[in-house]
Amino acid sequence: MPWDRMRIANAVLSALTASREPTLIKPTTMANIVSRLVENELFERGETRVGIEAVQDLVELKLMTDADLPRTAKAYVLYREQRANERRKRHD
């Protein structure tokens, strides 16, 4: 799938809101930072088209390591599961 930073930023923002994890910067700014970290990682790998699961794995990793937001990462995992179930239902 083509890269879409805004979709990732929106998903991270939703996870931040759901987790209510405190951050030193505004949630919208943190969501944009995480999406840029993922984008940079993909750029360094030379990837312009990547699967949904691969992008989600990177988002989760960046939330846990670079952003140090474990509760948000957990909320993001729950979001991933929900979205995967929705995709499966659409294809059934």
Task: Compute the 3-state secondary structure of the chain and give helix, strand, coil in percent, each to the nearest 5.
Answer: 75, 0, 25
How many domains, the chain? Answer: 1
In which domain, by residue range, is 85 found?
5-91
Residue-wise pLDDT tens digits, 7-64: 888 888 899 999 999 888 888 888 888 888 888 888 898 987 778 888 888 889 888 9
Q: CA 18 to CA 16: how far, in whole Å?
A: 6
**Beta bridge partner(s), residue 82:** none
Interhelix angle 52-64/70-91, rounded to 10 degrees, is: 170
Q: CA 38 to CA 8: how far, in whole Å?
A: 9
Give this prediction's pTM. 0.79
